[in-house]
Amino acid sequence: VQKGDFRAGYYRDQTIMMALDQLSIEQFFSGLYANTNLEEEPMSAGRQMGGHFTTHFLDENGQWKDL
Domain hosting residue 24, numbered range: 1-67
Closest residue by Cα to residue 39 from 25, 57, 27, 56: 27
The runs of H, that is alpha helices, within 1-67 are: 13-19, 25-32
Number of independent structural domains in the chain: 1
Closest residue by Cα to residue 49 from 65, 27, 33, 67: 33
Q: pLDDT grade, residue 9 (50/70/90)?
A: low
**Are 23 and 17 contacting, i.e. CB atoms less than 8 angstroms apart?**
yes
pLDDT single digits (tens) 15-63? 888 888 888 888 888 888 888 888 888 777 777 776 666 667 788 888 8
- Segment 4-21 mean pLDDT: 77
